[in-house]
Structure 1
Amino acid sequence: MTKATATPTSAAAPAPAMPASVNSLSQPLLARLLGRLAEWKLASYSGPQGITIVDAGVAVPGSVAAGIAITEICMGGLGQATLRQGNDADGWPTLVEVHSAQPVLACLASQYAGWSLAASKEEAGGKKFFALGSGPARALAGKEALFDELGYQDQAEAGCLVLEVDRAPPDVAVQKILRDCKLRPEQLTVILTPTSSQAGTTQVVGRVLEVALHKAHVLGFPLASVVAGSGSAPLPAPAPDGIEAMGRTNDAILYGGRVHLTVDADDAAARELAQSLPSANSPDYGRPFAAVFKEYDYDFYQIDPALFAPAEVWVSSLGSGNTWHAGKTDMALLREQWLREA
């Protein structure tokens, strides 16, 4: 009997991986949210054109747990968000932590609030409407120049958009969303998260990693080189006043945010990114955000863009194995604004 021998064959090249669909990945998370409305103090109803509206803090209390779930929806199913109990070194009792193995898609193609939606008071039925849409449905519309730079557009058959507003979008805005996303009303869900609510405050603080990615983009760092990221920021109690609430959530990141990025880049690039990222590089650093916002006549676009960044960063180079550190948190500033001793 002769021994059979196998004839070697050339291995086929692996097919290129298809980009993840942030809308498809977020649908199970949305279904989970809709299944826990009572537990998380939310409400759901049929909105303009028959879309699904989830109220996370307008006519219902909402909750921190809902804010954590909404953070993960905002990240297009490509990120994890959790609460962590702070210790003495943290200087605050509760922190939001986020992680992503695909931070560019999670944060910039999905979570970033970059889609401008507006309606005049005539179009909106008596009160002007403005919101910056965030979440995975942005990638269906692809209306921002950022998507051309990322080379990414989703084509899922259902979408979810998050709006930091205290009322449902008017009919004209909903029509635009449906048209641009190429969705039917039953395929669209809009989540309302006013910043003065528990869910709203939580999901904004949960943008700490996204803020770092956006700052890296502004600095011109090649986004394809960012391979992983994590971040944390202290979670304040929501303020009833909208401007103060916005100030608190921004301060949480600018003075309490800590981010670790892993990049496929050499030491020089990693070190330069670490040095350039922290919020302390801005001349507007050092004052509560609400005061800065007021100084610039409540115009975001007048504020130095360098301010919008985490307080402390670590950047690890895959090429060398070295990690570069810059910046520091200022919990004293936050505690002065948020804390009242009993």
Structure 2
Amino acid sequence: MAESMNIEAKKITDKMIQDAEKLNIEAFQLENNTTVIDCGVNVAGSIKGGELFAKVCLGGISDVGISIPGDLSDIMAMPAVKVKTDFPALSTLGSQKAGWKISIGDYYAIGSGPAQTHKFINNPIYEMTGYSETADVAVITLEADELPNVEVAEYIASECGVTPENLVIVVAPTSSLVGSIQISARALETGIFKMYEILDFDVTKITYAAGITPITPVDPDGFKAMGKTNDAIIFGGRAYYYIQPDEGECLEELAANLPSSASDKYGESFIELFKQADGDFYKMPKDIFAPAQVIVNDMLTGQMYHTGFIDLERLKKSFEVIEIINKK
């Protein structure tokens, strides 16, 4: 593993800046010399830009790719984002997890990325995985409708203990192509989060992981986009976990409780559940946030547990699919 996720992520952002024109993104510096990379607020963004954004979220230590098409059935095929990692717990819960709610004045954003290794230095995941951050740079991704100003950048830099010129902020709205891609890239994360927070499973036993999720259709309505991007994972995300259990430990119950369909609230769309929680994301049922379909490979016995399913009809309803059948 690389010594620093922030340094690995910065290598990616440096490449994004170098290729900004062909990625349809824009990089600039604020008055305090903080670097901001706009991936969808005032620019169009791109498929490759979304791939790189997701890699930054994962701390630069996981692979992200786009599959075209990503087959969900014989009926519908869509582009899909693929994630594979040899550092499942660290790259997801230690970096990709959207664990930083940023609210400064009228500015609001949800923060992900390796900058969290500075902000949440006491996160048990770092101790569990033996990781410590040594870099004096911080890279953060923001899911936000607006670009940050100097005040926001100063706050983030201060919380991370770095100078403003050593901070890189990468931004994309939910209602953008890059936003759709980076959220669909979170299927693995949701499953690992569920194992850790709800099922009380030692996630350091997950040796490798791979996942694929359809890329949500871009919707200019931010509220609807939020619903569609989460539904993409809940109804269409697929995850494969290679787990090294203890001697005599059975993974069947873990696998059975992992997919989104194991939740009592399964069947309702994200927007419906969001409304029931009075618009508070953190009051929503946590166990619904999981891949639709899960495969667990017991690396001790060689057994494979397959659970959950792709819910094509609910996915099509969420995505507002209009089927046009031409018959001659």
Task: Give me the TM-score of the superposition, normalised by structure 1.
Answer: 0.88
> Tell me, what secondary structure is at the counterpart of 1:196?
coil
How far off its partner does 1:238 sit? 1.2
Q: In structure 2, how many angstroms separate the alpha carbons of the residues matched to 1:240 and 1:27?
A: 29
How far off its partner does 1:19 sit? 6.9
Give 1:328's aligned amino acid.
F
Any conservation in 1 of the 2:31–2:150 contact (CA below 8 Å)?
A: yes
What does 1:97-116 correspond to in 2, within 5 Å?
97-116=82-101
Which residue in the other structure is 2:278 paired with? 297
Match of 1:211 among 183, 190, 198: 190
Q: In structure 2, how many angstroms separate the alpha carbons of the residues matched to 1:148 and 1:79?
A: 17
Which residue in the other structure is 1:13 paired with? none
Which residue in the other structure is 1:40 paired with? 23
Number of residues of Structure 1 aligned to a counterpart in Structure 2: 318
How far off its partner does 1:48 sit? 5.5
Q: In structure 1, how many angstroms separate the alpha carbons of the residues matched to 2:312 and 2:202?
A: 31
Q: In structure 2, how many angstroms separate the alpha carbons of the residues matched to 1:98 and 1:327?
A: 19
Match of 1:87 among 71, 76, 95: 71
Which residue in the other structure is 2:299 paired with? 318
Q: In structure 2, how many angstroms separate the alpha carbons of the residues matched to 1:174 and 1:282?
A: 38
How far off its partner does 1:295 sit? 2.3
How far off its partner does 1:244 sit? 0.6
Any conservation in 2 of the 1:42–1:61 contact (CA below 8 Å)?
A: yes
Q: In structure 1, how many angstroms separate the alpha carbons of the residues matched to 2:99 and 2:124?
A: 9
- Give unpaired runs (5+ residues) of structure 1: 1-17
Give 1:57's aligned amino acid.
G
Give 2:211's aligned amino acid.
G
Give 1:326's aligned amino acid.
T
What does 1:142-157 correspond to in 2, within 5 Å?
142=120, 145-147=123-125, 150=128, 152-157=131-136
> Tell me, what secondary structure is at the counterpart of 1:130?
strand
Alpha carbons of structure 1 residues 113 and 144: separation in structure 2 relative to 1, 3 Å: farther
Are 1:24 and 2:7 an aligned pair? yes
Give 1:222's aligned amino acid.
D
Which residue in the other structure is 1:73 paired with? 56
How far off its partner does 1:260 sit? 0.5
Are 1:234 and 2:219 an aligned pair? no
CA deviations on 1:40-94 (whole Å, 9 max, x unpaired) are 1101111253201101111111122211111111111211111111236373321
Q: In structure 1, how many angstroms separate the alpha carbons of the residues matched to 2:132 and 2:221?
A: 37
> Tell me, what secondary structure is at the counterpart of 1:340?
coil
Which residue in the other structure is 2:322 paired with? 340
RMSD: 1.9
Task: Give me the TM-score of the superposition, normalised by structure 2.
Answer: 0.91
Q: In structure 2, how many angstroms separate the alpha carbons of the residues matched to 1:144 and 1:232?
A: 31
Any conservation in 1 of the 2:195–2:258 contact (CA below 8 Å)?
A: yes
Which residue in the other structure is 2:140 paired with? 161
Any conservation in 2 of the 1:114–1:144 contact (CA below 8 Å)?
A: no
Any conservation in 1 of the 2:32–2:150 contact (CA below 8 Å)?
A: yes
Alpha carbons of structure 1 residues 41 and 144: separation in structure 2 relative to 1, 3 Å: farther
> Tell me, what secondary structure is at the counterpart of 2:23?
coil
Give 2:256's aligned amino acid.
Q
Q: In structure 2, how many angstroms separate the alpha carbons of the residues matched to 1:323 and 1:316?
A: 4
> Tell me, what secondary structure is at the counterpart of 1:273?
helix
CA deviations on 1:87-110 (whole Å, 9 max, x unpaired) are 363733211110001111111111
Match of 2:158 among 179, 197, 200: 179
Any conservation in 1 of the 2:154–2:164 contact (CA below 8 Å)?
A: no
How far off its partner does 1:149 sit? 5.6
Alpha carbons of structure 1 residues 204 and 221: separation in structure 2 relative to 1, 3 Å: same
Q: In structure 1, how many angstroms separate the alpha carbons of the residues matched to 2:26 and 2:9?
A: 19
Match of 1:244 among 197, 203, 224: 224
Give 1:158's aligned amino acid.
V
Residue range with higher mean Cα deviation, 158-167 or 43-52? 43-52
Q: In structure 1, how many angstroms separate the alpha carbons of the residues matched to 2:228 and 2:272?
A: 11
> Tell me, what secondary structure is at the counterpart of 2:218?
coil
Match of 1:270 among 218, 243, 251: 251
Q: In structure 2, how many angstroms separate the alpha carbons of the residues matched to 1:292 and 1:73?
A: 29
Any conservation in 2 of the 1:147–1:153 contact (CA below 8 Å)?
A: no
Which residue in the other structure is 1:256 paired with? 236
Give 1:182's aligned amino acid.
G
Q: In structure 1, how many angstroms separate the alpha carbons of the residues matched to 2:272 and 2:48?
A: 30
Q: In structure 1, how many angstroms separate the alpha carbons of the residues matched to 2:71 and 2:226?
A: 25
